[in-house]
Amino acid sequence: MVDGCERARVGGNRMRDQRFVRNVVYGFLGGLTALSFILPDRITVPVMMATPAAATDQIVLTDLARDFLASHVDFDVTPPDGLGHYAGNVAQLIGPDGRPLQVHGVTDFNVSFGSIVPGVPYAARASVLGAEITSGGNPIPVTIQAETDTQTFEPYGSYNDPGGTGDVNDGANPRHYIFSLDEVYTAETPISITATSWLASTGDTSYGHTATFPTNSTDAINSQVATQITVPVDCTITSITAYTYADEDYNNTRYALYADNAGEPGALITESAKGDAPYYWTWFTIDVPDTPITAGTYWLAVGQNGSPQKIRRDNSGGQTRRNSYNAEDEGGFQANWTGTTSSGTERVSIYASFTGASSWSQHMTVRSGDDSPYVKVLKDGDAVPNIPAFQDQAGLSDFVDPYVDVASGLVTLQDNQAIYLFELGTTNLASPSADFQDLVIMVTLATDPAYFVSPDTTTTGLNAIGYKVDSQWTDSGGHNIAPHLYKPSLGDSAGVSGVTSSGGVDSPASFYDWFRDDLGTNQSVVQDIVLTNDGFGVYEFTTSAFFPLDGRLYGNEGEAHNSNFTYAMQADFTYDASASQFFEFQGGDGAFLFINGKLAIDLGGVQSGVTQRADVDRLGLTDGQTYDVKLFYARRHPGASNFNFRTNAVLSSGEMLGFVTAAFD
């Protein structure tokens, strides 16, 4: 029986002619290598692609294996926290060159005219560290927008709703916002923050339906009609007005305001005395006792002693209720609305007037990207501005103290962070009220949104490196899944994350070399794997002895096998929503599978026994569309070399993930 390593080297008769051509080319290049004194340090030769095998029998996938010396800092290693499965170290989004990156902070950025401009692709999080601004001793709202060059975000509620969820000057800080959980922004995409402070004003206003609707009512005699309205602020009702008229014999009109009870008229709040409407269509107003109410949903009611009721309505866009209670004969409206005889979606031409209604006007708007003098930006090592607090407000130091070195007085941020200080109270920077602590925001940059989310996928924190997996996350079928794909709504069961650790990876820079060509650090060569149909529609390549580079490239370095290498493979498949497609992998000292650019299998660390499965239906793909799948595998420790790959998706070779850098095989 031919083991998996040997199968990978033979690949089928039809591959031999292509290997012959390649070997001739490599031999020629080997001769040229002797002239290295005139050649550049890096030799890159594109390689021809293999033709996909018949989908019903075998699938031949061709890509690259890269060899490393055992002296490389990430190879021939045992993690400080022991052998095992580690997760969360690899970015959940594929890098801009189509290869994986280790999750880390983005330090390559500058501040240009108040905008943060990263020099590499990035993800971002904005954190409100604090806000403190008052007027007349009372806090005033502050709202925020975050912007890139193409998108505007409202991180903490509606920017134009200072009286509601948009206010961040509410004592509930810090609060965090990740710009996007499923994408990174291209290099040089600027970030800016816009902040506005608001002042309240009071005055008279009206709420209800002030339009003159076109349809005359045909309500039955002696009925009362109620229509639903919204009152957005606390205020005091003073009068009610409807578009109506009265017959010469029936000219008695009354109005009322009812509370809302689960979408229906409820308790009577206030009502008018009887009024004599004119004998022609017009807006007719009757005062009601001044009655304070809170913001909410209410019902305005009209009752007339006439047949039919003389009101105007629109047949859609609202809620209307009727009953046969005769408010005029009974000397007033019901204390609690009862006896609804009909319901509809009409709106009635009726509104209420209010006094003391609060509205908001913008006091001061500052956009960091305008190079505004009312914004200061602090980076690691900067001095904290010596600005005293205004009156009894919290001072700047109250918000930034956790990020200041006591001995030096300098800011001690991580080198992927910056802090914005906003002045939103005065344009007079000589005024003692210009204290630059009206809003304090920190922006943090990383290679991937995973940097900001803890292993349970619900807690927003900083997760600069990953963690050891103490017990596995599983789906409803009991299959191990990548922890970041955990969804309780799908019946998944949570695992347990252990010690924080990179799993034997020295740094983002050292990991970068794993799947990228770097002459002097690695050598690469074409390598096939052959997936065989198991007779039930599942294609698999399975072996416990995956040593494709034995005796090749850097060689075995005195060991029984060459155990310091990586392998990268790219293929395409068509998503079939009816086929329950899956990908499954077991083995490796680092195995990462990406589908459509997103991490679907995360088997980091140094281990060989853990299996993980990715069900394609969980990934939000479009039925019938073709997507790429990329598998990145590493062997970094002596011992068994398991490479067990299974899928029921029909694959075809995609674009090669790199170039051959070895001059000969």
* 516 Cβ neighbours under 8 A, 6+ residues apart: 97, 99, 658
pLDDT number for residue 307: 56
CA–CA dist 160, 360 (Å, integer) = 9
DSSP 9: H
Nearest to 573 by CA among 616, 523, 536: 616
The domains of the chain are located at: 4-100+468-653, 109-200+363-446, 211-348
**Same CATH fold assignment for domains 109-200+363-446 and 211-348:** yes
> So what's the pLDDT on residue 229?
94
Strand partners, 613: 584
pLDDT tens-digit readout, 301-340: 998 876 566 788 888 889 999 988 887 777 889 999 999 8
In a 13 Å sphere around the CA of 405, the CA atoms on its Cβ side amount to 12
Decide: 261 and 298 in contact? Cβ < 8 Å.
no
Q: Rounded to whole angstroms, how far apart are CA atoms 89 and 511? A: 10
Determine the Cα–Cα distance for residues 635 and 641; give it in Å rounded to an integer.
7
Give the pLDDT score at 1.
33
CATH 2.60.120.400, applies to 109-200+363-446: yes
Q: For position 459, what pLDDT does the model report?
A: 53
Collect the ranges in the chain with pLDDT lower than 50.
1-54, 220, 457-458, 663-665
Encode pLDDT of 250-260 as tens digits: 557 899 999 99
Do residues 451 and 463 lie in contact, with contact meaning Cβ atoms separated by under 8 Å? yes
pLDDT at 596 (0 to 100): 94
Nearest-Å Rg of the Cα atoms of the chain is 35
Is-contact 639 563, C-beta < 8 A?
A: yes
Q: Are 497 and 118 in contact (CB under 8 A)?
A: no
**Secondary structure E strands in 248-323:** 252-261, 264-271, 275-276, 282-293, 296-304, 312-314, 320-323
CA atoms within a 13 Å half-sphere pointing along the CA-CB vector of 297: 12
Beta strand pairing call for 496-500 and 467-471: antiparallel
Q: Is 249 exposed, middle or buried (0-12, 13-18, 19+ CB in 10 A)?
A: exposed
| Residue owning tokens 């710009």 | 179
Q: How far is CA 287 from the centre of its chain?
A: 51
- In DSSP terms, 529 is beta-bridged to 61
Cα–chain-centroid distance for residue 564? 37
Q: Is there a contact between 140 and 169 (Cβ–Cβ < 8 Å)?
A: yes
Distance separating alpha carbons of residues 644 and 581, to the nearest angstrom: 17
Q: 211-348, what's its fold?
A: Jelly Rolls (2.60.120)
Residue 549, SS3 per DSSP: coil
pTM (predicted TM-score): 0.63
| Ramachandran assignment for 88, one of left (phi > 0), alpha (psi -120 to 50 degrees), beta (any other) | left
pLDDT for res 534: 93
* Unique residue bearing structure tokens 């075998």: 58
Residue 249: per-residue pLDDT: 56
